[in-house]
């Protein structure tokens, strides 16, 4: 079975490297490094490539507003050279607050921008001189000085709404899903894969502990965070059976922040959106997600207490699935 691991948001740089060292002893499919408002994923991936020599390496995700597509293509080609052809480029639109408030760029036309962004990146990665005149991007005689190791690096798109899902199946090599209920995942994957086969990945909130309640609490806190600050995720979950719960979680967030609103995350949400519990629970729940049609489960590691011990427990739990 292919298994990926997402390392980042709750970890320090040193902890990411420690986790990568642990994974280097196993046969993980891939290591994905997120990027929001913390560490730069390209820098971290560059170092991780030297720690874990076997897994593929993915950005998860680089947003399409804060960097030019030419710069992202340069980063992708460089990381692919450094990692000996193991890099996968994960792209997404991010969100209006992040793009406009933190990067000072207008968040507009994400679908059209994404299509052009991917077009430009693929042209640049080909190693040829590029001239491009689109609505958003204009290049004239741009060419890489570095020789690409591969002229076709896989591109994965993060997709939430139906329009971005459709675009992903039109232009990408793979999709990165996140926070999608089990029942919705199965239906969407079946429908889209019947049109064109791509690599279906899904990042899954993952918490393991021999103490069941501690793992559930960690999962609820992560779900509550995304419901609280992620408008797109909140709206998506509300439209797929969790409106009452997401409304309560968000109202509590507006009153008191993240100090306790996780208690309003329901058991149904935990069971449908995450992989958590004891080692036995984690393995069983992971297989439930695989049965939806996911080609590559990407386990978003959420440590329960000690990071190294928690990650070692997770990896040992799934070691026999990484053959």
The series of mean pLDDT values per 10 residues for the chain, 323 residues long, is 92 97 96 91 97 97 96 98 98 88 90 98 96 97 95 97 98 98 96 98 98 98 96 96 98 96 98 97 96 98 97 95 77
Q: pTM surpassing 0.95?
A: yes
Handedness of CA 158, 162, 163, 169 (dihedral sign): positive
Q: What's the distance, CA 53 to chain centroid?
A: 21
Q: How far apart are CA 62 and CA 74, in angstroms?
A: 13
- From residue 181, alpha-carbon distances to 16, 175, 238, 272 in Å are 28, 16, 11, 5
Q: What is the pLDDT of residue 178?
A: 97
CA 322 to chain centre: 20
So what's the pLDDT on residue 197? Answer: 98
For the chain, which domains are there? 4-210+274-321 (3.20.20.30)
Give me the pLDDT at residue 323, please.
64
CA dist., res. 179 & res. 216, Å (int): 16
């Amino acid at each position: 079975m292919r298994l990926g691991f997402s390392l980042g948001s709750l970890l320090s740089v040193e902890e990411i490297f420690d986790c990568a060292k642990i994974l280097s002893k196993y046969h993980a499919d891939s290591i994905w490094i997120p990027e929001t408002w913390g560490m730069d994923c390209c820098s971290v991936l560059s170092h991780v490539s030297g720690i874990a020599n076997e897994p593929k390496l993915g950005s998860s995700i680089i947003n399409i507003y804060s960097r030019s597509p030419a710069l992202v293509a340069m980063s992708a080609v460089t990381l692919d050279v450094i990692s000996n052809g193991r890099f996968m480029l994960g792209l997404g639109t991010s969100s209006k607050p992040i793009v406009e408030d933190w990067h000072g760029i207008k968040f507009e036309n994400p679908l059209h921008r994404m299509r052009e962004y991917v077009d430009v990146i693929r042209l640049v990665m080909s190693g040829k001189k590029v001239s491009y005149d689109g609505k958003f991007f204009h290049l004239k005689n741009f060419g890489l000085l570095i020789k690409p190791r591969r002229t076709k690096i896989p591109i994965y798109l993060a997709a939430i709404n139906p329009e971005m899902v459709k675009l992903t199946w039109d232009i990408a090599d793979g999709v990165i899903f996140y926070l999608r209920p089990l029942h919705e995942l199965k239906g969407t994957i079946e429908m889209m894969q019947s049109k064109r086969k791509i690599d279906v990945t899904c990042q899954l909130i993952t918490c393991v502990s021999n103490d069941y309640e501690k793992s559930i609490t960690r999962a609820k806190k992560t779900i509550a965070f995304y419901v609280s600050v992620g408008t797109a995720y909140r709206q998506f979950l509300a439209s797929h059976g969790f409106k009452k719960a997401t409304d309560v979680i968000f109202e509590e967030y507006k009153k008191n922040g993240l100090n306790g609103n996780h208690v309003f995350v329901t058991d149904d949400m935990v069971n449908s959106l995450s992989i958590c519990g004891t080692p036995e629970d984690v393995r069983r729940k992971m297989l439930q997600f695989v049965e939806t049609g996911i080609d590559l489960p990407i386990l978003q590691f959420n440590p329960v207490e000690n990071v190294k011990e928690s990650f070692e427990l997770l990896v040992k739990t799934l070691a026999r699935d990484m053959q």
